Amino acid sequence: MKDNKSYNKNDWGSLSMGEFIDGELSKDPSTLKHHPALVLNADYRPLSYYPLSLWCWQDAVKAAYMERVDIVAQYDKFVHSPTIKIKIPSVVVLKDYVRPQKSVAFTRFNLFLRDEFRCQYCGNRGELTFDHVIPRSSGGTTRWDNVVAACSPCNLRKGSKSLGRAGLHLRRKPRQPTAPELQNLGRKFPPNYLHDSWMDFLYWDSELDA
Ligand SMILES: [Zn+2]
């Protein structure tokens, strides 16, 4: 933001968080949570899609002050110190490109995301658990290629049986996803809250279809 540049850095340095808070905002601390900034990588794509890369407004303001980010869009709300008044950033872009991680962490969350939050046996969405395709009791390991998301009924039905004996079929063979694959899947699952100013930077499939 070009206005930013004209501020005396010493002014920023003297700010305390208490001074930062606008009268209206400070009355209800919970509203502070409601002004997150979408964080873009230097290529103007979100730093991550799932979870969507968001900073609380304090971090966004601090990063702007540290000149680590440029402000791309703003909320209609101000924060101020005795000498400075700025609009809360709603979109910030990193000045230095952060290389996306190449390998994907084997976490519950990433596994659900890979399976698109669907039971890999019946396709149901809803309350999901994990199932070892080759049961642990038969030497099955806890790895990308042997664990899938499963609904409780399917999990129960499968128990410690093999696929064949349980009469279940996998919708697709589980394997380790690549980071870009997970990123692409993440776009399908936008968070509940999306500020208007973020839309230019998010490429949900629904938007592309429209
Ligand atoms: Zn199921």
CATH code for position 125: 1.10.30.50
Cα 179 from Cα 104, distance rounded (Å): 6
b/e code 71-102 from CB counts within 10 Å (16+ = b):
bbbbbeeebebeebebbbbbbbbbeeeeeeee
Distance (Å) from CA 112 to ligand 1 centroid: 13
Does residue 59 sit in the same domain as residue 87?
Answer: yes
Does residue 156 sit in the same domain as residue 199?
Answer: no
Distance (Å) from CA 138 to ligand 1 centroid: 21
Residue 40 belongs to a domain: yes
- Domain holding 66, by residue range, is 2-100+188-209
Ion ligand 1 neighbours, Cβ < 5 Å = 119, 121-122, 124, 151, 154
Q: What is the pLDDT of residue 102?
A: 76
Distance (Å) from CA 76 to ligand 1 centroid: 46
Residue 92 belongs to a domain: yes
Residue 173 belongs to a domain: no
Does residue 92 sit in the same domain as residue 9?
Answer: yes
Does residue 96 sit in the same domain as residue 143?
Answer: no
Does residue 79 sit in the same domain as residue 155?
Answer: no
Distance (Å) from CA 125 to ligand 1 centroid: 8
Distance (Å) from CA 116 to ligand 1 centroid: 13
Structure tokens of 48? Answer: 């991550």
Distance (Å) from CA 71 to ligand 1 centroid: 45
Does residue 161 sit in the same domain as residue 201?
Answer: no
Distance (Å) from CA 203 to ligand 1 centroid: 30
Distance (Å) from CA 189 to ligand 1 centroid: 20
Distance (Å) from CA 115 to ligand 1 centroid: 12
Distance (Å) from CA 166 to ligand 1 centroid: 12
Q: What is the pLDDT of residue 133?
A: 96
List the chain residues with pLDDT less than 50: 1-32, 204-210
Q: What is the pLDDT of residue 138?
A: 94
Distance (Å) from CA 110 to ligand 1 centroid: 19
Q: What is the pLDDT of residue 119?
A: 96
Q: What is the pLDDT of residue 72?
A: 95
Does residue 124 sit in the same domain as residue 63?
Answer: no
Q: What is the pLDDT of residue 202?
A: 74
Looking at the structure of the chain, the number of domains it has is 2
Of 201, 205, 204, 207, the C-alpha closest to 90 is 201
Q: What is the pLDDT of residue 33?
A: 62
